[in-house]
Amino acid sequence: MAAFFVQSLAQAPEPPTDAITAATTLTQLFAIGINHQTAPVSLRERVAFADHALPAALAALRALPAVREVALLSTCNRTELYAVADDQGDALCDWLASHPDAGDLHAYLYQHRGADAVRHLFRVATGLDSLVLGEPQILGQVKQAWSAARGAGALGGQLDRLFQQSFVTAKRARTDTRIGANPVSVASTAVRLAQESFARPADSAVLLIGAGETVELIARHLAQAQVKRLLVANRTLAHAQELAQRHGGIALPLSEIDRHLAEVDIVFSATASREPVVRRAQVAAALARRKHRPMLLLDLAVPRDIEPEVATLKDAFLYTVDDLERAVEDNRRSRREAADAAEAIVEIQVARYMESHAASTRTEPLKRLRAHADSTRADVLAKAQQQLAAGHDPHAVLDFLAHTLTNRLLHAPTVALRQAALEGDNDLARAANKLFPATGTGTDASGSDSDSGRLEAEN
């Protein structure tokens, strides 16, 4: 059967690049990355990409010789590459592990391939691979990675379908299980940590640094906890003012943190800065003005916003995203049953994706056959129109159109069937009988017809 199609398409033009990409085997699909399970924040922050840096990074990745498609997911807890590549993934690993300022991170990378790469993305989008099990923010971040890759022209058909299926999987898991019931994000876990500490929000002044999604979530949780006083500092004052207005706070420019740091009991920071925005000297000065009343600082950014040396100060209690691992252990246990159900949904969706991908590769010969027929029809029709324009008899032109089109379409199958008969290829003969059941026409046993000589003349 396959041989028949190959022969019948012998005269067809080479398939377009998109067709080749659609038929790419799953063994060329990779998921490569570093996350909270394989590396500490001090290493992850070296390969964290801010939104504005994504286009350049995607362009560099797409320019790698073996890479056909690529998407880059970068969050506080992971930086991952999803790609279709012609090599063994080596170029992608080398790019990520030796990224400027990264040093050598090869030992901290993981690589998934084929079905394992599909499964990994589905688990990530569902929240099953998150620091906080089932947290909802990751799905939005996966969608942003997909959108950025599309916008940069780095996404092709295979990755596009894969990401679309990951969205379906995540939605199904949250609808059919309790993995999304009362979702707990990194932001809510951080606020809960504050509530269980010496600095309860209801009795404290709180400073939020940043104005992005994480800080917005923290502000909502603080409002629910009836925070006593809320200050919001951001490099763009207008953004701080908008967030502060929504949650009853006071907005500050980032440059005024020094003036107000001594007033607050808790600091939450989550910016996209490449450099620390709160340094040890600033906190030391604030603690002195507070007469060494303790201060709780929670750094949720990657790269880190608060200098690690702040932790050496006697009355400063600094936590990073890695420290939340212990705080969310209870959450993991309570959600394990729901997670097991979600894992089952992931496996079902992986199987469906695999079936869909296999079907797309099986139908590729049919697409080429159709394209060849359409091309032949257009060519013969153009010649017939030229004959009509030249004043040829319309009946003769119609006769030319019908015979030429028939002969061109049947030439390659006819030759293949003749060869099969000579070689005793019964499989091909049976396939032909299925495709071309007897209709009682005047075709002879050899498979030739009255126009074969004409066809030979044309070829």
- At residue 10, the pLDDT reads 36
Between the alpha carbon of residue 296 and those of residues 172, 197, 209, the distances in Å are 39, 8, 14
Reference 13, options 358, 432, 360, 367; nearest CA is: 367
Residue where the block lists tokens 């080429």: 368
Could you read off the pLDDT of 251-291 as tens digits, one per residue? Answer: 999 999 999 999 999 999 999 899 999 999 999 999 999 99
Distance, in Å, from the CA atom of 5 to the CA atom of 277, rounded to the nearest integer, reads 64
Confidence band for 17, pLDDT divided at 50, 70 and 90: very low
Could you read off the pLDDT of 372-400 as tens digits, one per residue? Answer: 888 888 888 888 899 888 888 888 889 88
What φ, ψ does residue 82 adopt, rounded to 5°? -115, 125
Residue where the block lists tokens 């979530």: 217
Confidence band for 369, pLDDT divided at 50, 70 and 90: confident
Q: Please give the residue that has the higher pLDDT: either 240 or 27.
A: 240
Cβ atoms 446, 418 nearer than 8 A: yes
Question: Of the segments 20-24, 149-153, 319-323, 358-362, which one has the largest average pLDDT value?
Answer: 149-153
Out of 76, 81, 206, 297, pick the active-site residue. 76
Task: Give SS3 for 274.
Answer: coil
Reference 307, options 36, 44, 299; nearest CA is: 299
Does residue 19 surpass a pLDDT of 50? no
- At residue 339, the pLDDT reads 86
- At residue 170, the pLDDT reads 94
- At residue 307, the pLDDT reads 95
Measured between alpha carbons, how far apart are the two ends of the chain, in Å?
Answer: 25
Across 75-204, the runs of DSSP E, i.e. the strands, are: 78-85, 110-113
Reference 70, options 60, 84, 57; nearest CA is: 84
- At residue 137, the pLDDT reads 86
The full 3-state SS of 33-94, as one line of letters, equals: EEECCCCCHHHHHHHCCCHHHHHHHHHHHHCCCCEEEEEEEECCCEEEEEEEECCCCHHHHH
93 is catalytic: no
- pTM of the entire predicted model: 0.60
